[in-house]
Amino acid sequence: MNRNELKNIKIKLNGKHQGGVKTGTEALNYILSLGMEDLKYFSQDAIENWIKEALDMADEILTWGKDVSLKKRVEMYRKALTHTTDRESAINLFVNMTLSCEGLGTLSGFGMANVDSNKGRMKAKSKIWTNPEKRSIY
């Protein structure tokens, strides 16, 4: 997909022109960020519907041309959406999707572990299943 072709993606919500974007990922991010302000008032169903509609819009952009990174992103988010069990997990998914589209997601591969050294080799004794970027243990 040529970037010049995508310069004219215009976001229109409730009949009002909201702005323009250059890529499908930016369009997905823009739609999600429009709902960020009212996220605290949304029910779990409303959050999931907002995400589904944003992903449907991204699928429509995929019909215009080939964008492999957007296609992988949409598939990953649809799979993650099936695992939302409560309002808190839906909010986490919404926020993480928005941050990821902006390139500001949490760093993968960083975890907290209790390790022991045995002749220079590190051996994990126990693993704390939390991401230190999201939560602090106190």
What pLDDT does residue 2 have?
46
What pLDDT does residue 126 have?
55
State the Cα angle at 9 between 57 and 98, rounded to 5°.
55
Q: Facing residues of 21 across strands?
A: 9
- For residue 92, what are the CA distances in angstroms to 19, 36, 89, 104? 26, 12, 5, 14
Report if pTM > 0.75. Answer: no
Give the whole-number percent of the chain exceeding pLDDT 90.
Answer: 20
Identify the helix (H) or strand (E) that includes residue 123: strand 121-128
What pLDDT does residue 138 have?
47
d(CA 88, CA 118): 41
> Residue 1's pLDDT band (boundaries 50, 70, 90)?
very low
